[in-house]
Amino acid sequence: MNWSRARTILIVSFLALDLFLGYVAFGSQHESSQVTSTEVQRALDRVKALGITVTAQIPRRVMAAPFLVIRPRNQDIEAISGRLLGTDRPDAVQSSKELSVWAFQNSRVTVLSTGVVIFTTEAKTGSPGTEVDARSAQAMVLRFLSERGLLPQDARLDFVERTGQDSFTVQYYQEYEGTPLFGGYITATVAAWGVSRVRFLWFNPVGFGTGKRSVVPATDALVKAVPSIVGKVGAGARLEAMKFGYLSEGMDAREWDAIPVWRLSFSGGVSVYVNGYTGDVEKVD
């Protein structure tokens, strides 16, 4: 017997077997990382049976995710208030553990201990009678924030929505390493005469925590959450978008964890946040 040839054949056979087993293992893992078209359709049918129209693309990826560790953003409250109010010397109206209030002329800034900043004004800086559409509303808010140095580099436009005959809401969300951090936001109200209100909360993300947990597939989150919030979004509502990200409220703390969520965006400006680990509804905006 030619032992050299036999040894070569065995080596080649084992290599082929290893490649085959590796392909099978990888193929199975790859297939299990996506929900099937049938599962998506089944979820859509159950949601539509509740009177909800779906125009959103339902994410099919199945994944695991860690918590996101965040800290409050260091803020010079007086400086931020001054930039919003357009003065170097805003008047301190109130100061307590829970909030600080600054004012100048007919504008006011309230800063909560949780980091939330609220600006309101009655000043009319625009031109009365000017027609405002979504694009011009976005441009007005962008200019307002940029001129005051209050548009962070990690801000991403979320939506522009008409809220009245001549008014719009423009919203940005915070992003961390390509993933939305929905708890960080800037929401502005704008009309032809200018920006009348701005509310924002921005975080300092530290990084992802150690260890990952399985995230509820988007289809399962949809099926579990929608029945409980039909009354809040209204009969005949339309699901316009579904996106994965992280959610946290502002907290008076040094450091905490933000949870992974699925955000369901409905017509009428209603957003529903579903816990990515449990599938329970965490918040309805």
* Each residue's pLDDT tens digit, 183-218: 899 999 998 888 999 999 999 999 999 889 999 999
Which residue has tokens 């400006």? 269
What's the pLDDT tens digit per position in 137-167? 999 999 999 999 999 999 999 999 988 888 8
Identify whether the C-beta of residue 246 lies closer than 8 Å to the C-beta of residue 260: yes
AA identity, residue 108: R
pTM over 0.75: yes
Report residues of the chain scoring pLDDT below 70.
1-32, 125-129
Which residue has tokens 């989150």? 221
Contacts of residue 159, defined as CB under 8 A and 6 or more positions apart, other chains included, come to: 169, 170, 171, 265, 269
Beta strands in 105-178 (DSSP E): 107-112, 117-121, 155-164, 167-176
∠262-268-272 over CA atoms, to 5°? 20
- Would you state the torsion angle of the CA atoms of residues 161, 274, 176, 62, taken in this order, to the nearest 10 degrees? -120
What is the pLDDT at residue 126? 61
Which residue has tokens 């579904």? 242
